[in-house]
Structure 1
Amino acid sequence: MIRVVQVALPALLLSVSTFSSAIDEPGNSNEVSQIEKITVTGSATANNKPVGTFGSLVSNLEYDPRVDLQSRNMAEAQADVTIRGGIFENTGFRIGSATLFDPQTGHYFAEIPIAQEMLSDANVLTGADNALVGVNSSVGTVSRDWIPIKTAGSVSIGAGNNNFNLQRIYSGVVLALGDVNDWTIGLEVEFSRSQSNGTIDNGDHDFQRASGRIQLVGPQSQTDLFFGTQEKFFGWPNMYTPFNFNETEDLDARLLILNHKQFYAQESTFEVSAYYRRHNGHYVLSRENPDIFEAFHETDVKSVAVSGRHAQTASFALNYSAQFIADGIKSTTLENNFTSRHYYKVSVLPEYTMDLNNDQQLTYRLGAAFDDTNRDSSQTSLIGDISLNTINADDTSQTVYLSYAQASQVPGYTAIGGSDTGGLFRSNYNLAREKTENLEVGLALERDTWRLDSAIFYRQDDDLTDWTYSLNSSSARSANSVDIKTLGLELLAIKRLDNAQIITSYTFLDKSEDYGTADIDASFYALNFPDHRVTLGIIWRPANMIEVRIDNEWRKQQENTLRNGEDDALFTHLTVKISPEQFTGLDIMLAADNLWNEAFEEIPGTPGRGEQYTLSATYRW
């Protein structure tokens, strides 16, 4: 079906990523808009801090309607971030211009030791936007930017049930550079740690992170040098296997990034990012008897990336992105003949804007992306979209768009580098490059006090790498390719009141799959998705010193042979913040996660998290 559309609609042309603030991206056509556009601001979740530890790149994404987060222990321990019914390895994490990467497995993609004060809110890219800038992430990318440093700081302490304790300090300072006009230098550092016995037995954790950044800001540029390190130990029963073992992970991530963003001419930017990432992992199948099975891995990734938007005229601009990645792995459980790979991606997306009259603009883009590695076949992908933006007489607006995008990626080393005849995690040497085609139509409405984003999409994944289970196999998981067709509906509404904000969403997914074999009894990932999902978030300020934030998520999950318990669930995250007027800068917070003690297995066969309550205090200056 999609290939027919590819021929019939060669001029599909802008992609406004539904539920994302893509207008902030350098490659978005709205930057050349000569029509002033209002925006109803608001996060996709009510809460902005986790309950059981310090914040990370995945915190609160479990209540974000744009993504489905499937966690082991808690989100900050080990989280699989899926977008639009994809799997965890279809999702990329982009900082600046670069997609950060782990060659062993997508389970570790989010092991990024950056303090949240240093980054913008998450911008979820799908469709043409993901095809333009995402690397080896065929369905979606969680993108964040480096933000300017401010002279500010905070110190936090917290305690809770399950012997939870937290300590955290953050500080930033900005100084003018002598007599140089409009140039500043900034420095910020952060140290965080948390520890608990866990919300269920053998679900303990011990985390710590240290990160720092130096920033040089000029009239038209921002340069950031960052280094961070993070150590995490956590346990969970049946973390990766359904064999009733108390499994553990001991992870160590180090990250060095240099990023430069330059603004020039009229509405033109380019950004260059370079990073080095090293990740060490120690997995133990049984904490009571580690000699049964344990694995050590070390991965190294070096990368350089560039992206930008060059506005040639008011009606024509060129969006572009390129990235090179070189990786390597040392492992006690993966074979030795596939331990390194080079990745290349280049994408170009010309953009044309037409003023139809005083209150309407038509924007269309048509381009392509080229993906290759030194070990796999290459792939050229078409990217295109078209959008019509209308500004009404009362300064409200609406945008309708049509988008078509192809993307591709190659499987990770765990899927192709281990044994294909036995072991806990059985690889598959016949796995090929995965290809995705996505067609969608969407409508966005902006009014003075509310906003609605909506989209209907149809995606076809060919040769998607999934992890499956057979009742006749001794392996916990086996890598298999599958062809999947996904139909989806997304609705997100934000309403702003005088002293409150309401965020609600509904998503629907329907899949049809073909594994090409009958020896599969359950899918851990590709067929682990909600048929229906509803979120409701509320931010309420009943008084100057009190703020209440609540996120709710209800889901009806697709049935799975390995799942114990019900296929539907209701999760609630509640935070009450008190800021005494007598103590400027002091916040006291009472927070609860999984308020109803829901036991739903987010990953089939893996126990769900329990209740967590915390009391914390933060002093800001």
Structure 2
Amino acid sequence: MIRVLYSALPTLLLSISPSLLAADESHQQTTKIATNAIEKITVKSSTTANTKPVGTFDSPVSNLEYDPRVDLQSRNMAEAQADVTIRGGIFESTGFRVGSATLFDPQTGHYSAEIPIAQEMLSSADVLTGVDNALMGVNSSVGTVSRDWKEIKTAGNAAIGAGNNNFNLQRIYSGVSVALGDASDWTLGLEGEYSRSESDGTIENGDHDFERVSGRIQLVGPSSQTDLFYGSQEKFFGWPNMYTPFNFNETEDLETKLFILNHKQYYGQDSTFEVSTYYRRHNDDYVLSRENPSMFQAFHETEVKSIALSGRHAQTAAFAVNYSSQFITDEITSTTLENNFTSRNYYKLSVLPEYQMALQNEQQLTFRLGAAFDDTNRDHSQVSLIGDITWNKINTDNSSQTFYLSYAQASQVPGYTAIGGSETGGLFRSNYDLGRESTENIELGFTLDRASWRLDSAIFYRQDDDLTDWTYSFDSTSARSANAVDIDTLGVELLAVKHFDNLDIITSYTFLEKSEEYGAADIDASFYALNYPDHRVTLGLIWRPFDIVEVRVDNEWRKQEENALRNGDDDALFTHLTLKISPSQFDGLDIMLAADNLWDEAFEEIPGTPGRGEQYTISASYHW
């Protein structure tokens, strides 16, 4: 059970309150009730001011570095290679969900975010933690970045861009939706995109060359949506000390192909189910030294096949059952990871019954209590308890306030890099004793939602047992070694959004404190588990001084935990600035001037790996 001083917990819980589960939803949701089904339409505002990256085309990780719910640690830039961490976890404990399926890379969580989907096709990101992650996530013990398939509209855009460091970008996207027959109940949608970018990089040997193609066919009915998707991307990029602290100019050459079939069905009164199946193939060609590739080179190919089902069945107005299940099978072919097994099957089933109790004065209590079952054909299984209690009150002016208390267990197994290589030599040393990791999380949250502002807050305490971390010893010849660690994490999250007539303000504060215990004594530094900000503040502004001018600014200040491998300061200030001009004489034309890392901050987001430099771009886009 959670190791916490319960006598001290109430004081802490009363001092601060969040859930950032829906922190970005200041305009939460409206519901349109049809005759035979309920179609839910959710309107979300982003938790970041900027929605486009500066140094390349957008991807599922773009701008997450300024999202208060996420700590993104990048090599080169976010769209090159980014470790997405949530609530002080590590990259392996974060999942990426599209539709009802968690997209998975069995080699390492470094590549879980390699998702070749155009962002026009997906909703904005929901960050699932606690009970929702335990219910919906698969092999992601701390959090899941979840996206839904959007309905295709007849629209399009084309863009070109240039900037310093010999940066250039070209992109085109187009979608069309047509009614089938005389009735408008059924529509057929088609959309596709092509994107590419290249540059010499913001520091020497930090070049990149990216290309992505994706397309989707969609059939929408009065109570259903079916999507067939295919995407492919190729990425080459370099960075000094990308994964090792040995002063080499390392490179990666990645190729990802993804095929997804997804169907969502609404039925009854507020009931729905969604089924997803996908095939993903990912190739990784890693070179330690671009000047001398034969020194060390590793190639990996992973294949993943999966089918997933999730939904909510409302038995009555007061009682419903939430559920989620997924089956995943994977296989790896590798030049360096064949000392252990090379395939694995994963099974996940979670059931969360829900009971709603109406109280006086527009108040409501919701109780959810259930369990999740995780298993593989290589590891022992685990049953996890999940549950929460939520109180909600809607005022006469449609404002609301919400309290919740939740407890969730979750588990996952380590990837092939951690368990499939050599234990005695090589750059990345595996550990065959690593097994299933488990997590327990307890939290209290409070939300105030008003017409022009919103406040989300939470305090949580998480216990990770047998977490797989990558560590470094100054006496070792390997770049890093996989080791198990037990970590207790206390965290606080605050997020506020305020809307004025021509100005939106998004600001947040997060606090993390950890205590750790490793099973090994010869550890001098941690690359991931102990690489976290003690304090982090974000401030985003969206200002529209004139009809044709829009200014978007994201700022992030952090005070990072000290690390023996980090060169330079432990604090940093990053700024992403965009100026958009939309000339009234040219309908659909936008001219954008953008800057990232405006102050040329050299902070090492990953200890021992150089930080990114400044990037300035000018781009023109035409949308129709």
Fold agreement, TM-score > 0.5: yes
Q: CA deviation at 1:70?
A: 0.1
Q: Is the 8 A contact 1:22 1:125 kept in 2?
A: no
Answering whether residue 617 of structure 2 is matched by residue 614 of structure 1, we say: yes
Answering whether residue 516 of structure 2 is matched by residue 516 of structure 1, we say: no
How do residues 284-303 of structure 1 correspond to structure 2 at under 5 angstroms?
284-303=287-306
Are the structure 2 counterparts of residues 556 and 17 from structure 1 closer, same or farther at C-alpha, using a change threshold of 3 Å? closer
Answering whether residue 119 of structure 2 is matched by residue 119 of structure 1, we say: no
After superposition, give the CA deviation of every residue in 1:502-533 in whole Å (9 maximum; x if it has no partner).
00000000000000222000000000000000
1:154 is aligned with what amino acid? Answer: N
Q: Distance in 2 between matches of 1:396 and 1:168?
A: 41
Q: Distance in 2 between matches of 1:420 and 1:486?
A: 29
Report what 2:451 is aligned to. 448
After superposition, give the CA deviation of every residue in 1:419-459 in whole Å (9 maximum; x if it has no partner).
00010000000001000000000000011110000000000
SS at match of 2:234: strand
Answering whether residue 2 of structure 2 is matched by residue 2 of structure 1, we say: yes
Q: Distance in 2 between matches of 1:31 and 1:237?
A: 53
SS at match of 1:561: coil
Report what 1:221 is aligned to. 224
Q: Distance in 1 between matches of 2:452 and 2:136?
A: 32
**Identity rate of aligned residues, in percent?**
79
Q: CA deviation at 1:335?
A: 1.6
Q: Distance in 2 between matches of 1:600 and 1:164?
A: 22
Report what 2:11 is aligned to. none
TM-score, length of structure 2 as denominator length: 0.95
Report what 2:37 is aligned to. none
Answering whether residue 429 of structure 2 is matched by residue 457 of structure 1, we say: no
Report what 1:563 is aligned to. 566
Unaligned 5+ runs, structure 2: 7-16, 34-39
How do residues 160-179 of structure 1 correspond to structure 2 at under 5 angstroms?
160-179=163-182
Report what 2:106 is aligned to. 103
1:426 is aligned with what amino acid? Answer: R
How do residues 11-410 of structure 1 correspond to structure 2 at under 5 angstroms?
18-21=19-22, 42-410=45-413
1:316 is aligned with what amino acid? Answer: F
2:527 is aligned with what amino acid? Answer: F
Q: Distance in 2 between matches of 1:67 and 1:183?
A: 38
Q: Distance in 2 between matches of 1:569 and 1:22?
A: 24
1:331 is aligned with what amino acid? Answer: S
2:353 is aligned with what amino acid? Answer: P
Q: Is the 8 A contact 1:223 1:261 kept in 2?
A: yes
Aligned residues: 605
Which residue, 476, 480, 498 being the options, matches 1:477?
Answer: 480
Q: Is the 8 A contact 1:39 1:446 kept in 2?
A: no
Q: CA deviation at 1:366?
A: 0.1
1:518 is aligned with what amino acid? Answer: A
Answering whether residue 608 of structure 2 is matched by residue 602 of structure 1, we say: no
Q: Distance in 2 between matches of 1:17 and 1:258?
A: 35
Q: Is the 8 A contact 1:308 1:320 kept in 2?
A: yes
Q: CA deviation at 1:492?
A: 0.1
Q: CA deviation at 1:178?
A: 1.6
Q: Distance in 1 between matches of 2:42 and 2:195?
A: 34
Q: Distance in 1 between matches of 2:516 and 2:5?
A: 21
Are the structure 2 counterparts of residues 22 and 449 from structure 1 closer, same or farther at C-alpha, using a change threshold of 3 Å? closer
SS at match of 1:92: strand
Q: Is the 8 A contact 2:23 2:456 kept in 1?
A: no
Answering whether residue 550 of structure 2 is matched by residue 547 of structure 1, we say: yes
1:273 is aligned with what amino acid? Answer: S
2:410 is aligned with what amino acid? Answer: A
Q: Is the 8 A contact 1:309 1:319 kept in 2?
A: yes
Write out the 4+ residue segments of structure 1 that deviate beyond 6 Å after TM superposition: 3-6, 37-40
After superposition, give the CA deviation of every residue in 1:352-393 in whole Å (9 maximum; x if it has no partner).
000011310000100000000000010000000000001123
SS at match of 1:20: helix
Q: Distance in 1 between matches of 2:476 and 2:2?
A: 36
Q: Distance in 2 between matches of 1:168 and 1:604?
A: 34
2:20 is aligned with what amino acid? Answer: F
After superposition, give the CA deviation of every residue in 1:190-224 in whole Å (9 maximum; x if it has no partner).
00000000000000000000000000000000000
Are the structure 2 counterparts of residues 594 and 181 from structure 1 closer, same or farther at C-alpha, using a change threshold of 3 Å? closer
Report what 2:434 is aligned to. 431
Supply the RMSD in Å over aligned alpha carbons. Answer: 2.0
1:315 is aligned with what amino acid? Answer: A
Are the structure 2 counterparts of residues 154 and 206 from structure 1 closer, same or farther at C-alpha, using a change threshold of 3 Å? same
SS at match of 1:89: helix
Q: Distance in 2 between matches of 1:226 and 1:407?
A: 30
SS at match of 1:2: coil
Q: CA deviation at 1:181?
A: 4.5
Report the more deviating stretch, 178-187 or 288-297. Answer: 178-187
Q: CA deviation at 1:336?
A: 4.8
TM-score, length of structure 1 as denominator length: 0.95
Are the structure 2 counterparts of residues 367 and 615 from structure 1 closer, same or farther at C-alpha, using a change threshold of 3 Å? same
Answering whether residue 580 of structure 2 is matched by residue 577 of structure 1, we say: yes
Q: Distance in 2 between matches of 1:38 and 1:374?
A: 40
Q: CA deviation at 1:618?
A: 0.2
Q: Distance in 2 between matches of 1:38 and 1:538?
A: 26
SS at match of 1:62: helix
Q: Distance in 2 between matches of 1:17 and 1:171?
A: 39
Are the structure 2 counterparts of residues 94 and 396 from structure 1 closer, same or farther at C-alpha, using a change threshold of 3 Å? same
Q: Distance in 2 between matches of 1:153 and 1:347?
A: 39
Q: Distance in 2 between matches of 1:470 and 1:23?
A: 41
Q: Distance in 2 between matches of 1:107 and 1:41?
A: 28
SS at match of 2:133: helix
Are the structure 2 counterparts of residues 264 and 22 from structure 1 closer, same or farther at C-alpha, using a change threshold of 3 Å? farther
Unaligned 5+ runs, structure 1: 7-15
Report the more deviating stretch, 268-277 or 393-402. Answer: 393-402
Q: Is the 8 A contact 1:38 1:395 kept in 2?
A: no
Q: Is the 8 A contact 2:18 2:447 kept in 1?
A: no
Report the more deviating stretch, 387-396 or 375-384. Answer: 387-396
SS at match of 1:53: coil
Answering whether residue 415 of structure 2 is matched by residue 412 of structure 1, we say: yes
Are the structure 2 counterparts of residues 618 and 433 from structure 1 closer, same or farther at C-alpha, using a change threshold of 3 Å? same
Q: Distance in 2 between matches of 1:336 and 1:481?
A: 19
Q: CA deviation at 1:5?
A: 10
